[in-house]
Amino acid sequence: MFLPQLSTINLTLNHPSLDGFSLLHLSDLHINKKTTIEYMQALVSRCRDVDCECIVITGDIIDTKVKFITQQLHILNQLPNVYYISGNHDIFYGLDTLKKALHNFTFLDNALQKIHFQNKDIYLVGLADRFSKFFHVQRDMQKVIQLTKNKEALIFLAHQPKDFTLALQIKASLFLCGHTHGGQIWPFHYIVRLVQPYLSGLHYKNNMAIYVNAGLGTWGINYRYKAQSEITLLQLSA
């Protein structure tokens, strides 16, 4: 598997408490039986070398049952200060077993986490993936709305770009997502754009920044074309 170089994106946001905050954004790792131990070690080493306040993973960590990739997840679990949410593949292959394997990470489906940064409070909030309804996994938008009531400096995590509408509703300053793989193989980019409002990269909507991570792994076939994988450091300013 190909491990991309680190990309750095500077984002201008609408809240002063977020000024100077930085986070490493990963998405769509799609770890499977063919994912080598060497690849996982290289990924963790590269991420650990990055100076940032936290790491976020916006879903689809796995692409097989956890029992087949315990060593790979053990290595991933060595990353510090990680917050993550479910993706459709995580739910399909077993979210409960994934949560047990990643016991050092903070799971944010329908949950809020406060981070104290430079004498100010920043909030990370996550939402379960839309696929959850098919597997009786709770996706609680009302709970997210209640958790974020009267909260500022909000960073909202969801797997699919479609959930930007809830990010706007709770007045998040930043919405992070993945799922699209940036189209993975051109010209499938055009098909993805028929069902998702954003394909990849940085966008702004009503003063809210949106970053769609093109992900690390692949789905279906292990190939990308005109949709480079990414590990992205987001440096925030106000």
List Cα–Cα distances, 64 to 91, 92, 164, 196, in angstroms.
Answer: 11, 9, 28, 25
Mean pLDDT calculated for residue range 56-83? 98
Q: Which of 56, 40, 32 is nearest to 211 (CA)?
A: 56
DSSP H or E segment with residue 141: helix 141-147
For residue 57, is pLDDT > 80? yes
How confident is the prediction for the chain on average, in pLDDT?
95
Give the whole-angstrom CA distance, residue 87 versus residue 97.
14
Q: What percent of the chain has pLDDT over 70?
A: 100
Give the whole-angstrom CA distance, residue 157 versus residue 56.
8
DSSP at 37: H
pLDDT digit string (tens) for 85-144?
999 999 999 999 999 999 999 999 999 999 999 999 999 999 999 988 888 889 999 999
Mean pLDDT calculated for residue range 139-167? 97
- For the chain, the domains span 6-237
For residue 1, is pLDDT > 90? no
Q: Which CATH number does 6-237 carry?
A: 3.60.21.10
pLDDT digit string (tens) for 202-232?
999 999 999 999 999 998 888 787 889 999 9
Record the pTM: 0.96
Mean pLDDT calculated for residue range 28-54? 97
The CB-side HSE value for 199 (13 A sphere, CA atoms) comes to: 16
pLDDT band at 53 (very low <50, low <70, confident <90, very high): very high
Q: Which of 219, 236, 221, 237 is nearest to 27 (CA)?
A: 219
Mean pLDDT calculated for residue range 77-88? 98
